[in-house]
A and B are shown apart, each in its own frame.
Chain A
Amino acid sequence: MKHTPLYENHVALGGKIVDFGGWALPVQYQGIIKEHRAVRSTAGLFDVSHMGEIFVEGDGALAFVQNLITNDITSIENSQVIYSPMCYPDGGVVDDLLVYKYSGTKFLLVVNASNTDKDFDWIVQNKSGDVQISNVSADYAQLALQGPKAQSILQKLTDYPLDTIKFFHFAPSVRIAGFGALISRTGYTGEDGFEIYMPAEFASDVWQAILRAGADDGLVPVGLGARDTLRFEVALPLYGNELSADISPLEARLGCFVKLNGEDFIGKQALQNQKQEGTQRKLIGFELIERGVARDHADIEIGGEKIGFVTSGSFSPSLKKSLGLALISAKHAEVGRQIDIVIRDKRIKARIVKLPFYSKRYNK
């Protein structure tokens, strides 16, 4: 298994190490529910160094990146970040990613760990114009400091006025505890917070400095288990669950990140057709009426007829309910409708509810 630069720190903190797509990472330290609640109420620190970082530079960078993604990067300023799906010509999703715009000639793409090699190959394969593409994933560590106290904790370690970094913006060079880092006000929890990128060799020092700075505020290290329940409650998609080569962003409720009236991009024609005809499937949220836990891939039925499947399901630590996300046939996708989730050959009653389950609390 691959190790992030913080592997020894996780072991020292008692992290329960699991194999996450080939990476040895902690699923939890003190317990998923405790860590989840810490992020919602105070703050949590995550090692997300497994994420991939790909730089695209050159005179043709803007046009090239725009052609790769469904969102519109021609509208964003320098030091801004956007979220976007990246699609195949048929509208299926290669990956979903963050695009950091340094300037019109330099972009950083942050991609899912398990997709990094696939994405890099895809990007290189579609190369056009004057661009240099470099996969620097191994050189960079990434931390996420998330929760209502994230800013006040991080501010203790830097003179940089963090309140000037607005939602989905970044500062490319900030000194944190004396180490140079890129900081963005982004995250995957639905809370305010930052993602911090730095050369791998600084990671352990920065990690420990942040944990010390936040110790009195209730900051805890958080594993992958709570990372998943946190993103799930605010219905942020997870590639491989809500998104895949077989699921389009329009089906996955990501229409606002697909700019069909803007510049051309790979997959635009297919997505335009889908939009005109209406998608056959739609991502919905549900709440179990009966007891149980729905897990991904469980079938969903109405009156014994299969209408879809669960993409993610979990007990929600914030709402203390058993919830799920599912891709179902669009004609059944209305809030309030009762559905059956097939769990171990039993039909468990559930009800379609509005998304997200838990309201995001961003500092916009």
Chain B
Amino acid sequence: MKTIDGLKYSKEHEWVRVEDDVAYIGITDYAQENLGDVVYVEFPGMGDTIVAGDVLSVVESVKAASDIYSPISGEVVQINEALNDDTEKINESPYDSWIAALKLTSPDELDTLMDEIEYQAFCDEEE
């Protein structure tokens, strides 16, 4: 399982990359591996207000639909619609495949997330 230094990770296997006050959110290698071949991504609406724990997106594999819960709160300022034509990119390079970007409204929430080392240990326990 691949992880990347400098990202924040949630227990629901999302990653967060923060650039200034904007957070890019995607699913981890562990999540894509468990989900299988991704064939569809449902995006939030631009401008939607998201509270940490809300469903941000739905990612569907051949077999199943998975809710993606937002690890942080914010306003949706970008969605990665390029994934529409290239859903397998989520399987091939999950850390380059952000789904949505939120303008942070509660930056403190980032402190509740795991760093790379903590996340690896968390996944080892899940196995």
Contacts and interface: CB of A to CB of B under 8 A. Distances in A.
B84 interface: yes
Interface stretch (A28-36, A70-78, A103-111, A356-364): A28-36
A33 B62 contact: yes
B62 A344 contact: no
A293 B40 contact: yes
B75 interface: no
B62 A314 contact: yes
A291 B84 CA distance: 9
Contact of A293 (B36, B39, B84, B91): B39
B37 A292 contact: no
A295 B66 CA distance: 13
Task: Report which residue of B36, B37, B65 has the largest number of chain A beta carbons within 10 angstroms of its beta carbon.
Answer: B37
Interface string A143-182: 0000000000000000000000000000000000000000
Task: Report which residue of A16, A28, A293, A317 has the largest number of chain B beta carbons within 10 angstroms of its beta carbon.
Answer: A293
B62 A322 contact: no
B40 A225 contact: no
Contact of B60 (A31, A229, A293): A293
A315 B62 contact: yes
A33 B91 CA distance: 12
Nearest to B63: A225
B40 A322 contact: yes
Contacts of B91: 31
A322 B87 CA distance: 13
A43 interface: no
Interface string B44-86: 0000000000000010111101000000000000000000100
Contact of A32 (B37, B42, B58, B65): B37
A206 interface: no
B40 A229 contact: no
A225 B62 contact: yes
B60 to A, nearest CB: 5
Nearest to B33: A16
Nearest to B37: A33
A48 interface: no
A293 B37 contact: no
B58 A291 contact: no
A315 B39 contact: yes
Interface residues of A, number: 17
A295 B65 contact: yes
Given A27-B63, A225-B62, A32 B36 contact: yes
A248 B65 CA distance: 29
A291 B40 contact: yes
B84 A32 contact: no
A349 B91 CA distance: 27
Interface in A297-344: 314-315, 317, 322, 344
A32 B62 CA distance: 7
A292 B40 contact: yes
Interface in B1-59: 36-37, 39-40, 42, 58
A229 B62 contact: yes
Interface in A198-236: 225, 229
A289 to B, nearest CB: 14
A31 B61 CA distance: 11
Contact of A315 (B40, B42, B58, B84): B40
A344 B40 contact: no
Given A229-B62, A317-B62, A31 B40 contact: no
A314 B58 CA distance: 15
Contacts of A295: 65
Contacts of B62: 32-33, 225, 229, 314-315, 317
B115 to A, nearest CB: 28
A291 B42 CA distance: 9
A225 B35 CA distance: 12
A181 B91 CA distance: 40
19 contacts: A16-B36, A27-B36, A31-B37, A31-B91, A32-B36, A32-B61, A32-B63, A225-B36, A291-B84, A292-B42, A293-B60, A293-B65, A314-B62, A315-B39, A315-B40, A317-B62, A322-B40, A344-B42, A344-B58
Given A225-B63, A293-B60, A295-B65, 4 more contacts: A16-B36, A31-B36, A32-B36, A344-B58
Query: Top 7 closest A-B pairs, CB basis?
Result: A315-B39, A32-B62, A33-B37, A293-B60, A293-B40, A31-B37, A32-B37
Interface of A: 16, 27-28, 31-33, 225, 229, 291-293, 295, 314-315, 317, 322, 344
